[in-house]
Amino acid sequence: MTTPSIVTRFAPSPTGLLHVGGARTALFSWAYAKGRGGTFILRLEDTDQKRSSEAAAEKIIEDLRWLGLNWDNSGGVIPRQSQRLARYNEVIDELKSRRLAYDDAGAVRFRMDNLPGVAFDDAVYGHIEVGKGQLEDFVIKKADGFPTFHLAVVVDDIDMNVTHVIRGQEHLSNTAKHAALYDALGKPRPVWVHTPSIMNPDGSKMSKRDKAKVARKAALARIEIEGREAFIDRVLNVKPVPMYIQDSDAVSGNISDKIDGFIDSENDDILTAAVIALREGIRLPEINVADFRASGYLPGVLCNYLALLGWNPGNDVERFDLDFMCETFDFDRINKANSKFDREKLLAFNADTLQKMPPEEFASLLKEHQPRLATKLGDQFRGFAGMYQPRSRTLNDPAELGRFFFEAPTTYDDKAVKKNLARNDGEGLKLLGEFRDVLAGTEWNAAALQAAVEKFTADKQLKNMGSIAQPLRVALTGTAVSPPIDQTLELIGQQETLARVDRCLDKCKEN
Ligand code: GLU
């Protein structure tokens, strides 16, 4: 006898975006099969017709591809349960004819009352026994003609020769039903592997409500200051999205009919949360794979981090890639306890990977992530990427840290002005005015600009280069922080630099 080869599957219900918990299930299923020469199948469980959508299905598929978890479906076809109704009906009829199922108020129920109890083994949670008293007949076909998840999942896993069912712990309580169905159909049960849930650090469930909570808190704080009507007015007044923010479907759509309810906690509308976040310049916690992608995380890093939620390779190794996962992943090192999602740790992993990679790779990933940024910067893009690589924790950081390259400051930070321009009778301001003339006659490259700053510092017997670099930073960025001043000047360009210096001088003289 030959051992049947390993077949695992990921079977999401296309009712929303791919949650990190689902992604981890997919990763475990993928790695287990890939590491053993097996087959990994993707299947869409759309028996809940009201909640399923094609758009969600497509987005889940896209996110799995982005993560690098490729499936081996034969002919490349992704089975959808909604297209297999005939097959489910065949099985339901068979169970009925054998009196293992019966009609009940338009639905069909599977009989559990004839069983003494159900016992099964789980690779993580061990041996589980469900006593007779806890077994109830359950629906396998709904009145709408669709099979329930319980029936479809078992029939599919049998038909697709699935040997290992890896899924979230919330399905552990369904498994006795599934075991009974396998037995009734005379098929060998698969190995069940239930994985612990992923929680927020405070122990709450990681869900889209977390986003609503953060946005609502920001809204209430603003309302306190400016009043409810003014706030809503401002939020609804949709301004064009700044170019450094990624295209996002969250930015289109109409929230006017939902915003009141959102503020009063009557709904957790995700679009409303996103628009408030955009207007208020706050970040919402990432929950779905798409959120982490939009926030500039790398797929390999996300997989690495997700793998560590509930599993470890058994030594102190924490950083690894998908190949390592395939080689080392097994069920014996999956924890029973729920795992906590530590955002700081994920961010540290991402920063480490971004900062250590070759500059060409960083530039090309950044370009892929924010093509509009690259287009806008043109020849300067490589310099820009190089300047921000050492400070980037996500691929969104360069555009955020460097937003002053695209937008001249409209206001100047008070503290920065006082300290660097106004102090000592406007000493900084005077120096800025003098240096403006130097800049007007300097060749425009980082080396020449650096030399000009040094010469000016020496000629004027300044304490150090900061005496002129800091006033310049305020004029160029509105704040006292920027990357090295020579690179900053070079990238902003001569004309724009002079214009910003002039505007700053004018504005300060007014006051
Ligand atoms: N469609 C189910 C879910 O998304 C999958 C259950 C399973 O993997 O058996 O939770």
Q: Which atom in ligand 1 lies closest to the alpha carbon of residue 10?
A: 8
13 CB within 6 A, ligand 1: yes
Q: Which of 10, 13, 181 to mutate to test the pocket of ligand 1 (most atoms within 8 A of CB)?
A: 13
Q: What is the CA radius of gyration of the chain?
A: 30
Q: With respect to CATH, is domain 414-510 assigned 1.10.10.350?
A: yes
pLDDT, residue 367, reads: 97
What atom in ligand 1 is closest to the CA of residue 22? 4
Q: What is the pLDDT of residue 246?
A: 38
Helices (H), 135-247: 149-159, 175-184, 209-226, 228-236
138-142, 146-150, 273-277 — which is least confidently predicted? Answer: 273-277
Q: What is the pLDDT of residue 245?
A: 39
Residue 301 Cα to ligand 1 middle (Å): 25
pLDDT digits (tens, 9 = 90+) for 410-427: 899 999 999 999 999 999
- How many angstroms is it from 493 CA to the middle of ligand 1? 55
Ligand 1 neighbourhood includes 171 CB (under 6 angstroms): yes
Pairing of strands 107-110, 138-141: antiparallel
| Across 333-350, average pLDDT | 96
| Ligand 1 lined by 156 (C-beta under 6 Å) | no
Check whether 249 has a pLDDT greater than 50.
no
Ligand 1 center from residue 190 Cα (angstroms): 15
167 lines ligand 1 (CB under 6 A): yes
Per DSSP, 221 falls in state H
**Confidence check: pLDDT of 243 > 50:** no
Strands 191-195 and 164-168: parallel
Common-topology check for domains 84-195 and 414-510? no
Instruction: Encode pLDDT of 195-205 as tens digits.
Output: 999 999 999 98
Residue extents of the structural domains in the chain? 84-195, 209-286, 414-510
Residue 509 pLDDT level (bands cut at 50, 70, 90): confident
Beta-carbon contacts of residue 508 (< 8 Å; ≥ 6 apart): 412, 417, 421, 422, 426, 429
Whose alpha carbon is nearest atom 3 of ligand 1?
Answer: 12
pLDDT at 96: 98
Averaged pLDDT, 217-232: 94
Ligand 1 centroid – CA 332 distance (Å): 22
Q: What confidence tens digit (pLDDT) does each residue in 106-131 have?
A: 999 999 999 999 999 999 999 999 99
Contact 41/71 with Cβ under 8 angstroms? yes
Rounded to the nearest whole angstrom, what is the distance from the C-alpha of residue 104 to the centroid of ligand 1?
A: 26
Share of the chain above pLDDT 70, in %: 96
pLDDT of residue 237: 79
Q: What tokens were used for 171? A: 């399905």
Is 277 touching ligand 1 by the criterion CB < 6 Å? no
Per-residue pLDDT tens digits for 369-408: 999 899 988 988 999 999 999 999 999 999 988 888 888 9
Phi-psi category of residue 128: left, alpha or beta, with phi > 0 → left and psi -120 to 50 → alpha: beta
Cα dihedral value 109, 114, 115, 116, nearest 10: 150
Taking the alpha carbons at both ends of the chain, their separation in whole angstroms is 90
Rounded to the nearest integer, the mean pLDDT of the chain is: 93
pLDDT on residue 244: 39
Nearest to 463 by CA among 425, 501, 420: 420
Count the helix, strand and coil residues of the chain and give each as a percent rounded to the nearest 5. 55, 10, 35
b/e map of 215-247 (b: 16 or more CB within 10 Å)? bbebbeebeeeeeeeebbeebeeeeeeeebbbe
91 versus 275: which is more confidently predicted?
91
* Pocket of ligand 1 contains residue 153 by CB under 6 Å: yes
Angle between helices 343-356 and 299-308 (to 10 degrees): 140
- pLDDT of 252 over the 60 cut: no
Cβ atoms of 24 and 306 within 8 Å: the answer is yes
Which atom of ligand 1 is least distant from the CA of 149? 1
Going from the Cα of 243 to the center of ligand 1, the distance in angstroms, rounded, reads 38
The predicted-structure confidence for 461-504, as pLDDT tens digits, reads as follows: 999 999 999 999 999 999 998 889 998 999 899 999 999 999 99
pLDDT of residue 57: 94
Residue 49 pLDDT > 60, yes or no? yes
Asked if pLDDT for residue 64 goes beyond 50, the answer is: yes
CATH 3.40.50.620 fits 84-195, yes or no: yes
Q: How many angstroms does the Cα of residue 165 sit away from the middle of ligand 1?
A: 9
With 80 as the cut, is the pLDDT of residue 140 above it? yes
Cα(178)–Cα(184) distance, integer angstroms: 10
Under the banding of pLDDT at 50, 70 and 90, the label for residue 251 is very low
